[in-house]
Amino acid sequence: MRNEIRFSGFGGQGIILSAVILGRAAVMYDNKFAVQTQVYGPEARGGASMSQVVIDDDQILYPKVAVPDIYVIMSQEGFEKYGASAQVSAVMLIDSTLVHSRPKCRCIEIPATGQAKASLKVIVANIVMLGALVAATHVVSEESLKKAILDSVPKGTEDLNLKAMQLGLELGKQS
């Protein structure tokens, strides 16, 4: 089964890292195929950022995301630039702390930035969103996400990131 996932937010939120972690979880731990691409503006930190992942049970012959079926949106500008045109059949997880618009498709509101800031550190809001994504869509397994996070985050931040993932899983299961 093919899933096309688009992540968007602003530079510095870990949008690209989120897509890399998700692709790694799919390929290395769930025995699936994945391709990841990214786009960011010349302003990098603070400007709109977008990353996409295609995950499939079969080899991926066309690596570009044509019509995303899952969105993870972490900023209002990211929504306007990369999420506003979402198909009605899509699922969109939005960081309800920072995104004020709502799509026409199914919308799952996750207060990732607010919750991360209140109970952990704001820098792990992207990992909170990854946990929520996996809980809501099962695009990869929880165990593979955990392993991919541990492979990807800086040494010394593993516990913080696992707490963020767990918070996201809980928020995603409540939706």
According to the model, what pLDDT value does residue 62 have? 87
Say if residues 37 and 65 touch (Cβ distance below 8 Å): yes
According to the model, what pLDDT value does residue 1 have? 87
The SS3 of residue 20 is: helix
Q: Could you tell me the sign of the dihedral formed by the alpha carbons of 144, 145, 150, 156, in that order?
A: negative
Q: How far is CA 25 from CA 17, 82, 175, in A?
A: 12, 24, 23
Tokens of residue 135, six digits: 């809980």
Phi, psi for 157 (deg, rounded to 5): -110, 10
CATH of the domain at 121: 3.40.920.10
Residue 85's nearest CA partner among 172, 6, 1, 2 is 6
Mean pLDDT, contiguous 10-residue spans, the chain (175 residues) = 94 93 98 91 69 96 91 96 95 97 97 97 97 98 98 96 98 90
Range of the domain at 91: 3-174
Total number of domains in the chain: 1
Whole-model pTM: value is 0.94
Residue range 119-158, pLDDT digits in tens: 999 999 999 999 999 999 999 999 999 999 999 999 999 9
